[in-house]
Amino acid sequence: MLKAVSITGLSILLVICSAGIIHAQDEESFVRESVITRRDAIVLSALFPGLGQMTSGQKVRGVSFFLAEAASLVLFVNAHENYSTKKTTYDKDLNEFNMIAIIDRGSYDTIDPAIPGALESFNDLKRQNNKLDDLHSTRNIALIVAAGVYAYNLVDAIFFAPSSTESRSAGHNSGRIEVNSTLVDRAPGIMLTKRF
């Protein structure tokens, strides 16, 4: 669990850091106003869902795509890790069961009731197999959802994105804190500015 949380946290940090540069200095000294074209939005959306929408001014839609993709990928990674761990345990237990409880040269026809724990071990293997099936289904569903979000994100960026927007006009001003989408040396970014 700790490994999955660490991987998830590092993945989100990597995406946030690669999205752009955030400086706490005077913004005019390092940020130039630039026009976000439809092509730029499509390229950003192809890199990770929601980035193109966020930089073209559709913040709610962009954040929704971003969070949906991130959540489905986190669910996929978590289910995959659990599946791999439980599969290893299942294979080990199955080998032990095959060595101890089966009669007739490896046939599953008869379980010797004289061997203590043979029936319990067999039932435990059935439960483990059911859990593996559930994790496999969860993993596949999460991957399908991630692919669907990615595809819909691209369709949205291609057909529904504005033709071009000023990166400065895509900001949200709530008084003392300002959030702007921006490009810094052709790299997309989100700039947070706090005014005192």
| Domain range enclosing 40 | 2-7+28-194
Q: What phi and psi values does residue 188 have, to the nearest 5 degrees? A: -70, 150
* Strand locations in 23-147 (E): 35-37
Burial class (CB in 10 A: 0-12, 13-18, 19+), 155: exposed
Query: Per the confidence metrics, is the pTM higher than 0.75?
Result: no
Split into its structural domains, the chain has a count of: 1
Q: Which of 179, 151, 177 is nearest to 65 (CA)?
A: 151
Look at residue 50 and tell me if it is in a domain.
yes
- Please return the burial class of 69, using the count of CB atoms within 10 Å of its CB with bins 0-12, 13-18 and 19+: buried
Residue 20 belongs to a domain: no
Query: What string of pLDDT tens digits covers the 196 residues of the chain?
Result: 666 666 776 666 555 644 444 444 444 444 445 567 788 888 888 999 998 888 888 888 988 999 999 999 999 999 999 999 999 999 998 888 877 765 544 555 556 556 666 778 888 889 999 999 999 999 999 999 999 999 999 999 888 877 765 544 444 444 566 666 677 677 777 776 766 6
Considering the domain boundaries, does residue 150 fall inside one?
Answer: yes
Q: What is the greatest pairwise CA distance in the chain?
A: 83
Question: Does residue 12 lie in a domain region?
Answer: no
